Amino acid sequence: MAPVHVTHHVFGIFFLLFVIPVVLVSMVFWIWMIISAINNKGLGDSERICWVLAIIFLHVLGALLYLVIAHGKQPPPQKEA
């Protein structure tokens, strides 16, 4: 059995190399999706509010749902007079 202090070092290295970068990337992705939902002209006002709230309360899951369902929505084309 390995000494306890070696186990702590392995966990610390794992934490630094894997967990912290994953958390940072997910936070950046989450903020990017909030900004995208706020600025998405293809969404109506109430739909935009619902997406922003979903992203805020569901965090990364809400951001992934928004990315898959509504991120690429374009505004309807303008009719020329």
CB 55, CB 33: distance < 8 Å:
yes
**With 90 as the cut, is the pLDDT of residue 75 above it?**
no
Helix, strand, coil abundance in the chain, percent, nearest 5: 75, 0, 25
pLDDT tens profile 27-71? 999 999 999 999 999 999 999 999 999 999 999 999 999 999 998
Q: Of 51, 35, 32, 53, which is closest to residue 43 (Cα–Cα)?
A: 51
Domain boundary assignment for the chain: 25-72
pTM of the complete model beyond 0.85: no
Q: What is the pLDDT of residues 10-30, one digit of tens each?
A: 778 877 888 889 999 999 999
The number of angstroms, rounded, from the C-alpha of 28 to the middle of its chain's C-alpha atoms is: 7
